[in-house]
Structure 1
Amino acid sequence: MVQVRLKKMPACFKVHYESGAPIMKIAENQQGMLSIESRNIFTILKKWLYTEQDIVFRELISNAADAIEKLERLQSKESNHSHREGVIHVMLDADARKLIIRDNGIGMSEAEVHQYINQIAFSGAADFINHHDQLGKDTIIGHFGVGFYSAFMLSDHVTIETKSYRDDIPAVRWDCLSDMSYQMKPCDRNDIGTDVILHLSEENPYLKKPELIREIVQKFFTFSKTAIYYKAPDSEPVLMNDPTPLWHQPKELIDSNEMNTFYKTFFNDVNDPLFWIKFESIDIGLRGVFFFRNTRNGAEELDGTVKVYSRGVYVGENIQTLIPKFVNLQNGIIECDNLPLVVNRSSLREEETPEDMISLIYESLSQEVTIAMNEFFEKKRDQYESHWPHLNASMKYAVLQDKTFASVMTRKIIFQDLHGHYMTIQEYVDNVAATAHPEIIYYASDAIEQAHYIEIFKKCGLNALLFDHVIDQPFMRKYEVVRPGLKFIRIDSNIESLFQGYSEEGDEHRIALLERHFLNALGDRLLNMNLKITNLEHPSISTIIINDEKSRRMADMLEIYGFINPTDVSAKKIQAKSTLLINMKNGIIQYLLTAEEPVIINITINHLYDLALMSQQALKPEDIEAFINRSETILAASLNHQ
């Protein structure tokens, strides 16, 4: 930590008072050393406080905006001051090698230059607040007196020319070198305000690339409420910021097309946003907008960008302690007047403020998105469903990550059913309440892999939901905790009861015969798979593989954590308890009951088994050649029979 020691005021200063305000009379050419205990404060500033040179522009322009805001506050209180529009000019004079930051703000007297510049420990903004009875203290940008000294990162010689707003105070010029020696003397400036002049070396990168200054100013001050102009060499001044950004306007006055255009430009996105949420919390000085992204170009796999500003000045983006994780999946702008910033303004203070402002902002953002999405579901259900392919992952992730969001939106997550209709889990339960198993929610995890089962469900007049995103499994487990009375079962698991299997007279003999046929034909191919032979009402079903739900989930978890190779079908089948269900009402199975040729029985059973495996995409590569050869044999036999 830098230790600062204040010295007594030099003898050349004479102090007298007018209207309660100190005014100092200075000698023609005051010289001295800055009152700092450290031998080289500028080295510390460069290495400890500021790590990037572009911070200089943020600090100096913030100070200029601060000075303008101070003057505006005074003008609003004092009737004898006419209002002037605040403006900041950033000017690069390449020939003279000067970078000038000019404002028409409150300006400084000689005494104030000595107090706020020479004595680093004082903060101009803090002292200004104390002199004005704490009125509007939360509207001052310049919290940190040391910010000005970042100028020495770019220059070994810095000049201040300033004229106070008080008519009876003369202008003053202050020059300081990097060895901490300074000169202060009167100057003939007439305009109220301040120029900070950085004398640049020939090697300074901004002299060679003036466009860098434009980029930096736009980065930090895009939404500054004070107009900022930049004049590059041989160019006219150009406005760098938008003092009245579109998203500051009342929602009802914002044109959607204009907002879409702003979004695409600001976030460099080729697509319009799906929709946007504008929010404001006056109590904590919070405002902003979230844009929900169109993910058709794969944006779902990327985090969004949420830019954070404090009083229009850029602070950073995607700040973890401030922004809920699920919000970071979208693009957005957050501005807060009361962010607790560290001294160099580049990040948040880690220690809690008395009001724990960071937590308040975090909770407010979570609540704003929750309220907006709940209203979207309740009042614009059709639009909610049409956007769901883009919202799917982010909404479920929000439920898993945020308690506030989960408390409202868990039961408003929607899924497609087998017929392409969207419904919540509760709506699915209500639709199947009259069935024999209203507490079971059937789902498919892959519409292609489980296409055979999906068709069986449709033929049987049954329905299921599509849980086909990687996030659906953890969401399902969370929902089972919220609603412990419900059970989720994949459509290829524990479904024999749906088909009302039953026994008839004489089935014992038929079951025993089929069991011998299948065991002899399949042998080791069955691994640990069980056989279940029954009668189903639907004769179109010959054989079907049924997986135990708990064992299948365990096998999936082992695969996710790398204990099972995804391509090792045998390992997964050993882990998952599976059953081969055989329907004696099916014509092919009935043929096997009367067949006498062992070769034909063997070919038929192996082919049925392969088809059952294919319905789950579980046919091993080494079995494919046998399946092809067998198919050709069956086809040839069929043609010869004709």
Structure 2
Amino acid sequence: MNRESGCISINTENIFPIIKKWLYSEKDIFIRELVSNSSDAISKLKKLVSIGEAQIDGSEKYYIKVVVDKEKKTLKIIDNGIGMTEEEVKKYINQIAFSGIRDFVEKYKDKTDEGQIIGHFGLGFYSAFMVSSKVQIDTLSYRKDAQAVRWVSTSGIEYEMEDSDRTERGTTITLYIAEDSEEFLEPYKVRETLVKYFSFLPYDVYFEDANAVKDDKKEEGENKEEKADEPRPINDTNPLWLKNPKDCTEQEYKDFYRKVFFDFNDPLFWIHLNMDYPFNLKGILYFPKLRNEMDNFEGQIKLFCNQVFVADNIKEVIPEFLMLLKGTIDCPDLPLNVSRSFLQNDGYVNKISSHITKKVADKLTSIFENERENYNKYWMI
């Protein structure tokens, strides 16, 4: 393609100050948005493969890799998902009034499940400009004979496009981190954020410190020894709440509790939520053991949307009187706003909250009626 430059088509004059100042509640959410987009890109490709619209090597593993390079002041998010053509970049990046996911679902509405694709290129992608002085996209579509494309913008308004040297299907987004956001060049900060949002993402997420890799290679050269350790993903792609309760052991429930909440006192009991209709809801709620009357009664309910962490202790979903519980709740159908952080007012949310409350009440009633001695012990300090 010939080199091209222009201005991005937007409908709101001051959209970028809005994104940077208040659209997102926390600065690190740009990582959640970009990695979520990578996950969506893989989900799209998997769906196309399953319906025969795309072909890939059957032994290929899907992955997302995040690479921080403090020396170059860059942060890269890399995936081997669906990728984009030149036309798709122009439509979904340059014209952010359009929604790529809507077009995708409309085209394959009889063959795919909209609820399984939670994000799209658009406003989520533009969260990158919260922390970047320049953003670069290198992408290669899954389509046969596609040409890799490079898109670069230093302002979020003007852009340049040209051919890219990317040779593998998928997308790399390179953020040139601005001076006021250099905390996201610290490996511990990036890794901490990835663990926060993506501990249970359905695709392997790898973290790499480019400078540490350079040091390792230098050390290997000096010692003439090669390290055999394979990189390991930072996440568990199949969390316990996705399993059928009948297939889960007592030890697995306890181990999951310790892993997620760092509480090494066994919970008193738990409730495994597993519902597909009339809404999709899965999760595990634990009743923590209070050791003495001075223990803090505040629990922690982690809310997920398609295995992406959204927030803790959302009172619209979990009534305040149940906040002493600890647990994880995954509900792909939650009506989140564009930042994926806040629930919109919706009767649907009330139904979810009522269902959770009923399940807890039923469990307590069952223990009271059938295990009275244990029930009494639960409330004894």
Fold match by TM threshold 0.5: yes
1: distance between equivalents of 2:121 and 2:343?
A: 14
1:274 to 250, 264, 268: 268
**2:219 counterpart residue number:** none
Shift of 1:113: 0.3
Structure 1 residue 188 corresponds to structure 2 residue 169: no
| 1:296 partner SS | coil
Structure 1 residue 234 corresponds to structure 2 residue 212: yes
| 1:389 partner SS | coil
Structure 1 residue 329 corresponds to structure 2 residue 324: yes
Structure 1 residue 109 corresponds to structure 2 residue 85: yes
2: distance between equivalents of 1:79 and 1:182?
A: 31
2: distance between equivalents of 1:163 and 1:268?
A: 41
Change (3 A) 1:198 1:124: same
Change (3 A) 1:221 1:186: same
**1:60 counterpart residue number:** 34
**2:20 counterpart residue number:** 46
Percent pairwise identity: 40
**1:70 counterpart residue number:** 44
Structure 1 residue 294 corresponds to structure 2 residue 285: no
2: distance between equivalents of 1:237 and 1:178?
A: 35
Shift of 1:244: 0.8
**2:67 counterpart residue number:** 91
Q: Is the 8 A contact 2:244 2:274 kept in 1?
A: no
**2:353 counterpart residue number:** 362
Deviates more, 1:225-234 or 1:320-329: 320-329
**1:153 counterpart residue number:** 130
2: distance between equivalents of 1:334 and 1:177?
A: 39
**2:55 counterpart residue number:** 81
1:387 to 368, 378, 381: 378
| 2:93 partner SS | helix
Change (3 A) 1:168 1:299: farther
Higher relative contact order (CA 8 A, sep 6+): 2
Structure 1 residue 378 corresponds to structure 2 residue 362: no
Q: Is the 8 A contact 1:338 1:357 kept in 2?
A: no
One-letter amino acid matched to 1:160: I
Shift of 1:238: 4.2
- Gaps (5+ residues) in structure 2? 214-229
2: distance between equivalents of 1:80 and 1:116?
A: 20
**1:121 counterpart residue number:** 97
Change (3 A) 1:349 1:179: closer
One-letter amino acid matched to 1:314: F
Q: Is the 8 A contact 1:97 1:202 kept in 2?
A: no
1: distance between equivalents of 2:120 and 2:54?
A: 28
Cα RMSD after superposing both structures? 2.0
One-letter amino acid matched to 2:199: T
Per-residue Cα deviation, 1:192-248 (whole angstroms, up to 9, x for no partner): 110011012466433652100111111111111111111123158442211111232
2: distance between equivalents of 1:238 and 1:230?
A: 9
Instruction: Give 1:411-430 correspondences, 5 Å limit.
Output: none
Q: Is the 8 A contact 1:40 1:179 kept in 2?
A: no
One-letter amino acid matched to 1:312: Q
2: distance between equivalents of 1:322 and 1:144?
A: 28
Q: Is the 8 A contact 2:9 2:97 kept in 1?
A: no
Structure 1 residue 167 corresponds to structure 2 residue 129: no
Q: Is the 8 A contact 1:309 1:316 kept in 2?
A: yes
Shift of 1:178: 1.3
Change (3 A) 1:115 1:79: closer
Q: Is the 8 A contact 2:48 2:54 kept in 1?
A: no
Shift of 1:261: 2.9
Shift of 1:37: 4.6
2: distance between equivalents of 1:159 and 1:168?
A: 22
Q: Is the 8 A contact 2:5 2:161 kept in 1?
A: yes
Q: Is the 8 A contact 1:65 1:141 kept in 2?
A: no
2: distance between equivalents of 1:376 and 1:202?
A: 57
Shift of 1:260: 1.8
Give the TM-score normalised by structure 1. 0.54
Structure 1 residue 136 corresponds to structure 2 residue 131: no
User: Which has the larger Rg?
Assistant: 1
| 1:239 partner SS | coil
| 2:172 partner SS | strand
- Gaps (5+ residues) in structure 1? 1-26, 391-642
Shift of 1:80: 6.0
Instruction: Tell me which protein shows more helix as a share of its residues.
Output: 1
2:4 to 30, 36, 58: 30
Shift of 1:299: 6.3
2: distance between equivalents of 1:207 and 1:279?
A: 36
Change (3 A) 1:320 1:203: closer
Shift of 1:266: 1.7
Per-residue Cα deviation, 1:253-312 (whole angstroms, up to 9, x for no partner): 323233223312321324111111111111111010111011114465422111111111
1: distance between equivalents of 2:106 and 2:126?
A: 23
